[in-house]
Amino acid sequence: MPIRYIDQIKDLKNKRIFIRVDFNVPQDDKGTITEDTRIAGAVPTIRYAVEQGAKIVLASHLGRPKGEKNAKYTMAPAAKRLSELLGLKVKQAPDCFGPEVSGLLDAMKPGDVVMLENVRFYPGEEKNDMAFAKQLANGCEIYVNDAFAVSHRAHASVEAITKCIPTIAAGFLMRNEMTFFDKAMRNPVRPLVAILGGAKVSGKLEVLQTLVNKVDKVVIGGGMAFTFLKALGYSVGKSLVEDELILTAKRIMDKAKKRGVSFYLPVDCVVANAFEATATNFITTVQEIPEGWMALDIGPASATLFAETLRDAKTVIWNGPMGVFEMDAFARGTFSVAEAVGNCYATTIIGGGDTDAAVRKAGVDSKVSYISTGGGAFLELLEGKILPGVKALDIKMKK
């Protein structure tokens, strides 16, 4: 698909440029940003536009304000953090459009940056509403999407707006994401190992259906492993299971077997008598999970086994924690795998907020090749889908 990147646009000077970023970052109770990777990720694109003398209008969503204005979800803290990272003042607009916003944009000088308010304050955003997209476009001559993490959503500021602005392009963060993904999936150096974990089997089974056709090894941990173990006939106590997906899990394992893909499941786990940080817990084999107990982490033997699978890996993709890593008692499996991923001699690509957090907490973030800013978008790419936000950037379709 032919996509233009921001540095392929000839003259940005004095042009009003709309950059869709994803500043949907975690905040504490006081509204302080606790993790700013996504903001930092968009800085190269914004800085480039500043240096080229463009007038930059930024837009993002934050949280789930459900189509209504809500001060809790203002973009102001993100604009402030961006100001610090860029080393120049980013003005926070009071709204997404309207006379006051237009006044602010009309007064911009080359190199100025204005952050619009949360686009999800309007229901038109999630409905991909063209009228709302036109209001957002507000005299912009160039549209740039640098919001990879939301590009799996056909929302107004991601999709409809590309039809309202004459020139469209992708930013540098988007280029990085797509390049690493291509490297890992389209033409991978093998063995290619996929590690999947987390709680929601439903979201990841489709991904696995595609992945088993491409990878050499699959490693499953986290809550999702127990649907597979139940499919193999194990009693898994009160561990997380999606019963309606047992048949699909079986089919995936059959497909893996037919293709000669090694399929690794946990051999032991940490079981607890409640879903609580202080619950009584012990290590057991997956064949011996007691009735009424739940497995909340992989055990040490599984951690060693999983690390062993990575020894000869040349490409590794990882999405989803191996256990309830938010609670110390059930975090060891995830951290062991994070260390193994960090230390293996392979191109390693991490996707999803939890996995990102786990890799940072384990202190191996500087050792992995690439940490994607996308969770859902990353999974949809793995599934083989074309993201609506990327499709909308196809310059062939722009007539």
* Chain residues in the site for ligand AMP (CB under 6 A): 198-200, 222-223, 240, 295-296, 320-321, 323-324, 326, 352, 354
- In angstroms, rounded to a whole number, what is the distance separating the alpha carbons of residues 308 and 303? 9
Per the listing, tokens 């890799």 go with: 359
Which of 64, 66, 89, 200 is catalytic? The answer is 200
Question: CB of 277: closest distance to ligand AMP in angstroms?
Answer: 11
* Neighbouring C-beta atoms of residue 254, cutoff 10 Å: 12
Question: CB of 20: closest distance to ligand AMP in angstroms?
Answer: 24
Q: Report the residue number, 118 or 372, with the smaller CB distance to ligand AMP.
A: 372
To the query of whether residue 353 is one of the catalytic residues in this protein, the response is: yes
Q: Answer for the pair 316, 193: CB distance below 8 angstroms, yes or no.
A: yes
To the query of whether residue 20 is one of the catalytic residues in this protein, the response is: no
Which of 124, 353, 374, 375 is catalytic? The answer is 353
Q: Report the residue number, 105 or 324, with the smaller CB distance to ligand AMP.
A: 324
Q: Report the residue number, 65 or 222, with the smaller CB distance to ligand AMP.
A: 222
Q: Answer for the pair 335, 325: CB distance below 8 angstroms, yes or no.
A: yes
Q: Report the residue number, 277 or 397, with the smaller CB distance to ligand AMP.
A: 277
- In angstroms, rounded to a whole number, what is the distance separating the alpha carbons of residues 82 and 90? 7
Q: How far is CA 241 from CA 16, 236, 296, in A?
A: 51, 8, 12
- In angstroms, rounded to a whole number, what is the distance separating the alpha carbons of residues 252 and 250? 5
- In angstroms, rounded to a whole number, what is the distance separating the alpha carbons of residues 320 and 313? 19
Question: CB of 241: closest distance to ligand AMP in angstroms?
Answer: 10
Q: Report the residue number, 21 or 331, with the smaller CB distance to ligand AMP.
A: 331
What sign for the dihedral angle of Cα 371, 374, 376, 378? negative
Q: Answer for the pair 372, 378: CB distance below 8 angstroms, yes or no.
A: yes
Q: Report the residue number, 137 or 149, with the smaller CB distance to ligand AMP.
A: 149
Which of 15, 16, 20, 38 is catalytic? The answer is 38
To the query of whether residue 376 is one of the catalytic residues in this protein, the response is: yes
Q: Answer for the pair 392, 386: CB distance below 8 angstroms, yes or no.
A: no
Question: CB of 22: closest distance to ligand AMP in angstroms?
Answer: 17
Question: CB of 285: closest distance to ligand AMP in angstroms?
Answer: 15
- In angstroms, rounded to a whole number, what is the distance separating the alpha carbons of residues 158 and 153? 7
The residue number with the shortest CB distance to ligand AMP is 198
| Cis ω before 188 (30° cut-off from 0) | no
- In angstroms, rounded to a whole number, what is the distance separating the alpha carbons of residues 116 and 61? 10
Q: Report the residue number, 97 or 325, with the smaller CB distance to ligand AMP.
A: 325
Question: CB of 358: closest distance to ligand AMP in angstroms?
Answer: 9
Residue type at position 111: G
What sign for the dihedral angle of Cα 303, 305, 309, 312? positive
* Neighbouring C-beta atoms of residue 64, cutoff 10 Å: 11
Question: CB of 347: closest distance to ligand AMP in angstroms?
Answer: 22
Q: Which residues are catalytic?
A: 38, 200, 353, 376
